[in-house]
Amino acid sequence: MRVIVALGGNAVLRRGQRPDADTQLANVRSAVRTLARLAARHELVITHGNGPQVGMLALQSAGDPNLSRPYPFDTLGAQTQGMIGYWMQQALQNALPGRQVLAMITQTLVTAVDPAFERPTKFVGQSYDREEAEKLAGEHGWTVARDGTAWRRVVPSPAPRRIVETRLIRQLVREGVIVICAGGGGIPVVRDERGRLAGVEAVVDKDLTAAMLAEALECDAFLSLTDVPRVMRDFGTPEQTEIAHTTPHELRAIDFPAGSMGPKVEAACRFVETTGDMAAIGKLDDAERILDGSAGTIVTPNGRWPLTSTL
Ligand SMILES: Nc1ncnc2c1ncn2[C@@H]1O[C@H](COP(=O)(O)OP(=O)(O)O)[C@@H](O)[C@H]1O
Ligand SMILES: NC(=O)OP(=O)(O)O
């Protein structure tokens, strides 16, 4: 099978951890143990989040007295692709000697008139209590929003339209390369009337980009791997229940929060609706069990996996 994995930024920097490089590298090495087992059995394309990291770099940049203005989010996105891509590439090379692994700088086309620029939803950086978040928002001109019980900075997250480097990614996958690409959803860029690319201030959702890429690369499965074992009904209430096997139709009848589970569910539904193939949301460590149907929330057109006829 050709499998695309979207790895949450939280897998690289867990909630509450200090963002030291060695902490993140240790998390990447641990994630790569699972990814390497997948790569041994399947053609693997890896995308990853960057929410915690891009927010941290933005905060550092905002506090740098030598700068006349903080680095823009496209440039910060590129920095996170380089940093996380490097950690992953090296960890995979060490885990799978003899295999070709490449982390690519990847740009994602968005449109400048996307309404998302007026309505920031993408959580970046660390969590704060409400008072501190509002204080920082006042100091730096941020928008902040509630993420579960905590507060975080939010930035615009326009819809991904196309990955500029799609053809190259396809070529590399066909040649057996394990490609790490579209990190942080891809660096958001727009194309002007003369066809030239330029970066924009945003962070694209990596699950939406991954689903789009999965379709373009004709992947058989799209796995969004995060820190919860399954999508839940009535999440965060005493009545919460795990959803094991489901359909896009069933999932679309449930409300999920923007900026966290919402885009994962939307991405999974879009991939299944467009391709008729399988998408799943679950825990990184369960990736292999998700593919055999015994873990995660598995989304298929008829709610069954492996896919079977309903006739
Ligand atoms: N209905 C739900 N079921 C499961 N988790 C949910 C749900 N709604 C919100 N969440 C939250 O979504 C989080 C995963 O989204 P996110 O933090 O964006 O992950 P990642 O960084 O791994 O992509 C979970 O840790 C959980 O707190
Ligand atoms: N860019 C992005 O979607 O990052 P996270 O997965 O960390 O939210």
Judge contact between 303 and 293, C-beta under 8 A. no
Span 172-184, pLDDT tens digits: 999 999 999 999 9
In this structure, the chain runs to a length of: 311
Least confident interval from 12-16, 120-124, 231-235: 12-16
Q: What is the mean pLDDT of residues 205-224?
A: 97
**Which residue is associated with the tokens 């990190």?**
183
Domain that holds residue 41: 2-25+32-208+223-299
Reduced to 3 states (helix: H, G, I; strand: E, B; else coil), residue 307 is coil
Measured by CA distance, the residue closest to atom 4 of ligand 2 is 49
The C-alpha atoms of residue 247 and residue 302 are separated, in whole angstroms, by 6
Q: Which CATH number characterizes residue 199's domain?
A: 3.40.1160.10
Q: Residue 240 falls within a domain, yes or no?
A: yes
Q: What integer best gives the mean pLDDT of the chain?
A: 95
Least confident interval from 9-18, 40-49, 194-203: 9-18
Ligand nearest to the CA of 296: 1
Residue 30 has pLDDT above 90, yes or no: yes
pLDDT value of residue 106: 98
Judge contact between 100 and 178, C-beta under 8 A. yes
Q: Residue 215 falls within a domain, yes or no?
A: no
- Active-site residue, selected from the candidate residues 10, 262, 293, 303: 10
Nearest residue to 128 (alpha-carbon basis) of 51, 15, 239, 37: 15
Q: Residue 309 falls within a domain, yes or no?
A: no
The C-alpha atoms of residue 247 and residue 268 are separated, in whole angstroms, by 10
Q: What is the mean pLDDT of residues 218-243?
A: 95
- Active-site residue, selected from the candidate residues 50, 85, 125, 206: 206
Q: How far is the CA of 10 from the centre of ligand 2 (A)?
A: 8
Is 49 one of the annotated active-site residues of the chain?
A: no
Q: Residue 213 falls within a domain, yes or no?
A: no
One-letter amino acid for residue 101 of the chain: V
Give CA angle at 287 (235, 6), nearest 5°: 75
Give me the torsion for CA of 9, 217, 4, 157, rounded to 10°: 20
Q: Residue 54 falls within a domain, yes or no?
A: yes
Q: Residue 98 falls within a domain, yes or no?
A: yes
Is 264 one of the annotated active-site residues of the chain?
A: yes
Span 82-140, pLDDT tens digits: 999 999 999 999 999 999 999 999 999 999 999 999 999 999 999 999 999 999 999 99
pTM comes to 0.96
Strand 221-226 to 278-283 pairing: parallel
The C-alpha atoms of residue 279 and residue 214 are separated, in whole angstroms, by 10
Q: Which of 206, 212, 226, 281 to mutate to test the pocket of ligand 2 (most atoms within 8 A of CB)?
A: 206
Q: Does ligand 1 lie within 6 Å of residue 232's CB atom?
A: yes
Q: Does ligand 1 lie within 6 Å of residue 148's CB atom?
A: yes
Q: Where in the chain does DSSP place strands (E)?
A: 2-7, 43-48, 101-103, 107-109, 122-128, 143-147, 150-155, 162-163, 178-180, 187-191, 197-199, 221-226, 232-233, 241-242, 245-246, 278-283, 297-299
Q: What total number of domains does the chain contain?
A: 1
Measured by CA distance, the residue closest to atom 16 of ligand 1 is 260
Q: Residue 293 falls within a domain, yes or no?
A: yes
Q: Residue 214 falls within a domain, yes or no?
A: no
